[in-house]
Each structure stands twice: as C-alpha cells, then as structure tokens.
Structure 1
C-alpha cells in the first residue's frame, strides 16, 4: 500500500529540462482544466499529452504521470463526494476537493514551467 501513496524518488536534476519540455509539462498540468468543460477531460488532457511526449522528453514523462495520477485521485474523491451527498457532507467535500484540485494544478503548472519536478500531495500513484 505504501507504494501507492509514497511519491517515487525524484529523478536526478543533473540536466535541466529544455524550454520545450518545460512547456509541455506545463500543458500536461493545465490540460486538466479541460474537465471544466468536458466530462473526464481532467483525466484525458494529461493522459493524451503524456502518451504523445513521454518517449522523447523524460521531464514530460515524469510530470505527465504525476498530473494523471493526481487527476485520477481527484476523480475518485469527486465520486466519493457524490455518494456522500446522500448524507449532505458530500456538497461541502465536493467544493473543497474542487478548490484544492484547482490550486494544486496551478502550483504544479508553475513549478513545471520553472523546470522543477513537482509532486502533488494526497495523490494515489496508480500509473507508474
């Protein structure tokens, strides 16, 4: 179980990511905002960018997986919140999860644009 919750070790930063890699990593994080308009767009956006760029850019591979894992965790939390709406706490929980997801996504995008390897808190790391 600890493999799922514990973050993987951060890769060596011996070589800084290129400007293009930083930009694609930024897009991988921000593409999750597609979920505002498209159902499950928060998962599809990072998944598509990660699949396209993972072979050619190690930084995008790492950050794309991180964004995807976080968005899967957010989707699970939202489903649990919907179920908990039956006992009224789900409304508050859904609001809090949404605000936290937006804030952490923006922080991750800024860090990725700076070339830093970012790890989302409270993330189930299901995609390795």
Structure 2
C-alpha cells in the first residue's frame, strides 16, 4: 500500500484536478487492487492479444498462416496501445524464429541443424504459450531469445488505463 500516493490523489480530487472516476481508479491501482478493477474492454483486449499469440500456431498447420493470421489480427486493432505492443512482441518472435530457422536449415548439412530445427519448434511452442499467458495477464514482454526489431513499451497497457 502506498498511502502517500493515496493522500496526493485525495488532494488532487479535492482541488478538482481529477474526477471521482479517475480518483477511484488511481486509488485502486495504488492500493494494489488493480486486478479487480479491470474493465470489460481491458479483458477483451487481453483475450484478443492472447489469441494473436496463439495464432502463430497456425504456422504448424499451414506454414504461411503462422505470420499472416497474427498480422491480420494486429492490423485490425492496431490503434489500441496494448494490442499494438503485443503485436510487436509477436512479430519480434516471428522474425527472430525465421532467422533462427534459416541458420538451422544451413546447418542441416552438418546434421546438427536437424536437431536444432526440432528444438526451435519445441521452444517456439513453449514461448508462444508463455507469451499468450502473459498477454492474458496484461504483461508486455518480449519472448526469450527474441531479437528486438520493434521497440516494446512495457508500460503501454498502464498508460492506456490512465487516460480518461
């Protein structure tokens, strides 16, 4: 609990600088009850971003769908800051795993590439599931081993929540 923050928020509310709704939301966040104050729109965005992560698994059924489906999902709701950041996370991994696959494919001639390709497939599934779970929990974080082609702002979700 951050009582100092609550006192400052109360002062701002009394001076009329923030609305009652903004005060309640910020107070709940300061007191650590932000999980219970999620709006239905926040939950919808989290579910949508989770599906965007899971859409990468389409690539194991139809190779091109593993990046086309997440791209379409990202483009459709790109104006939302949380979904935009999750789309960046997804595409950082898609591009990174493609680069890793090319390296593994080149190493097929030394036989070790076959085993590395299998390991890459297993790791991809694990990272996609972990990324989807984190997206559902409201966390914005790159997958492990992911190269940052797009800059990720981990505070985008909370910044979107703070706007009136």
TM over 0.5: yes
Structure with larger RCO (C-alpha < 8 A, sep 6+) = 1
CA RMSD of aligned residues (A): 1.7
Q: Which has the larger radius of gyration?
A: 2
Following superposition, the deviation at residue 125 of structure 1 comes to 2.0
Following superposition, the deviation at residue 45 of structure 1 comes to 2.2
Listed as ranges, the gaps of 5+ residues in structure 2 are 1-28, 152-164
Following superposition, the deviation at residue 23 of structure 1 comes to 0.9
Equivalent residue, structure 2, for 1:125: 148
3-state secondary structure, aligned to 2:141 = coil
Between stretches 15-24 and 109-118, larger displacement belongs to 15-24
Equivalent residue, structure 2, for 1:53: 77
Following superposition, the deviation at residue 38 of structure 1 comes to 1.4
Aligned length: 114
Confirm or deny that 1:94 pairs with 2:117.
Answer: yes
TM-score when normalising by structure 2:
0.64
Between stretches 14-23 and 105-114, larger displacement belongs to 14-23
Confirm or deny that 1:30 pairs with 2:54.
Answer: yes
Following superposition, the deviation at residue 75 of structure 1 comes to 1.4
TM-score when normalising by structure 1:
0.81
